Amino acid sequence: MFDEYGAVLYVGKAKDLKKRVTAYTSYDRHPTRLRRMIRATTAMEFVITESETEALILEASLIKRLKPRYNILLRDDKSFPYILVRKDHPAAQVTKHRGARKIKGDYYGPFASAGAVNRTLDTLQRAFRLRNCSDSIYDSRTRPCLQYQIKRCAAPCTGEISLTDYQELIGDAEDFLNGKSDKLRQKLQGEMEAASKAMAYEKAAELRDRLRAMAQVSTKSGAANINPTTFTDADVIGLYSAGGQTCVQVFFFRAGQNWGNSSHFPRHSSEDTSAQIVEAFIAQFYANKPVPKQVLLSHKPEREDLITQALCGKADRKVEVLIPQRGEKKKIVGQAVKNAEEALGRKLAETGAQEKLLKEVQDLFGMEDIPQRIEVYDNSHIQGTNAIGAFIVAGPEGFRKRDYRTFNIKDVDITPGDDFGMMREVLQRRFARLSKDPKLEWPDLVIIDGGKGQLSVVTETLEKLNVLGRVTLVAIAKGPDRNAGRETFHMNGRDMFTLPMRTPALYYLQRLRDEAHRFAIGTHRARRKKSMIANPLDGIDGIGPGRKKALLSHFGSAKAVKGATVDDLASVEGVSQKLAQIIHDYFQED
């Protein structure tokens, strides 16, 4: 679709072109963004392909090249580095490579970053003592360099190792890069034991050091510090959206090792779904990159079958596209999503300094000064059980985790599940203590996770304590989806309002609310877990961890303690006759 100046507005594919184009004539049924695109379109061009898969590939390549305004676009489409084992020299060089593959040799990758390549090259040098010098330096050497002295190179340049033996080291290194590390490790262990028995201790020590270097990459590899056991070659793609923006995190696993991860921030509109974003990302991402045996995703693409066909066609072999539901693969995908969330948080936070964000919050809520202490409150429970309230604290320095606090809900008159009642108790206890202790720091802004009802309850509570005028109160009600950017804000004396998508202030407030929710639900889960494993002895006065351990060790179980006589109880070390009577009476009353 072209505008009046010939600029490409949009590139799309369709199995039924007539149906797709006709849909654009229903102008009023489209969102504002697409209406704007339809109004701007003055010409269209059609390309017929042999299959829908070819259409997908063509669409991705055109989007990457033309960068249309109304498409989901992978903007940071950089090339990834590889490890190159050069085969155009008698003594093969191992080096980092990026760009066209014009040099004769074997390429291993891609790696997520130059740092990931450098770490692996360091391991290869430690384990296999391979040269990394240029041909000119190699030819000019008359004596071994420092790399040889620190056991990072076998020095084929000066004949310290024969070319035949050096080629064997190259073969071992390629086995390692191809994922045959277990077989190679067994081989080296056998050689080390044989050298030790032959009293060739220097040779045995050298083999030991090589094994240690290989083991290092198995325990520390890439940003996530994880190596899989259920697959060897795969890309793990995790997606996270917030504040109208999305981060896609990609982990590269090759030869059973994590070869790093990278963050991508595709451009898209607020109407685009996760399924659409992940489909567009995959199509564009693999347009100029090799496809692994498996692609593990956090979100299902809009057309999973079409994506799978396209990847299989590009790789010229079977490629599995999976959305793991359990096990190790699910865990690693979750790690990718977590990395995406953190990367997006950093990116959005970088759009303005913390002071700038707080200044926006000040203007947004009509505060006299920039807030120096913000408290965000939330409750957590399951049908009223193990109910807790919590608040987190933030300020110019970020989250102040030492100031986080939780409250066990104590009021027995509160109906189980009554969020209003729980919020009332938490705020009453918190501000009553603030009023009594002048040393405590008062919040400038109090944010409640809830809507108009929660705001009314908190307002009433603070009015009774006569402290309402000391703080600014705001309630954040969730939109249809958490972090969707559709949150509504409630304040006393103002109509309900929302914030534009993609504003740093909105994302900052979302982060505050989500941190309060995380803290509250984490505390609730810990309390629930503790209650599930509670011991009957916990309710007896005078029975601490030491005496409980002694009683359980002596009798074997709490049930046996319950049936014991007073004399039997008194025979336990640390239990007096008086305490034995208290324990006995406790269970008899029970």
Give the three-state DSSP class for 16. Answer: coil
pTM: 0.54
Q: Which CATH superfamily is domain 536-589 in?
A: 5' to 3' exonuclease, C-terminal subdomain (1.10.150.20)
pLDDT along the chain (590 residues), means of 10: 85 88 86 88 90 87 86 76 87 85 84 80 82 85 87 87 88 80 76 84 78 62 58 91 88 82 87 91 87 93 90 90 92 92 80 77 92 92 73 88 88 77 91 85 92 92 91 87 74 91 86 90 76 66 81 80 87 88 77
pLDDT of residue 217: 56
Class of domain 354-531: alpha beta
Contact between 427 and 461 (Cβ < 8 Å): yes
User: Among 289, 293, 329, 326, which residue's Cα sits nearest to residue 308?
Assistant: 293
Pick the CATH number of 234-348 from 3.30.70, 2.60.200, 3.30.420, 2.30.29: 3.30.420
Question: Does 354-531 match 234-348 at the fold level?
Answer: yes
Ranges of each domain in the chain: 82-219, 234-348, 354-531, 536-589
Tokens of 214: 């290989």
In degrees, rounded to 5, the angle at the alpha carbon of residue 53 between the alpha carbons of residues 47 and 56 is 60
pLDDT of residue 223: 39
Backbone angles phi, psi at 25, to 5 degrees: -75, -20
Backbone angles phi, psi at 398, to 5 degrees: 100, -155
Give the CA distances from residue 482 to residues 77, 360, 369, 479, 515, in Å, rounded to whole numbers and listed in that order: 29, 22, 29, 6, 13
pLDDT of residue 211: 77
Contacts of 122 (CB under 8 A, 6+ apart): none
Give dist(CA 126, CA 390) in Å, integer. Answer: 51
Give dist(CA 224, CA 235) in Å, integer. Answer: 13
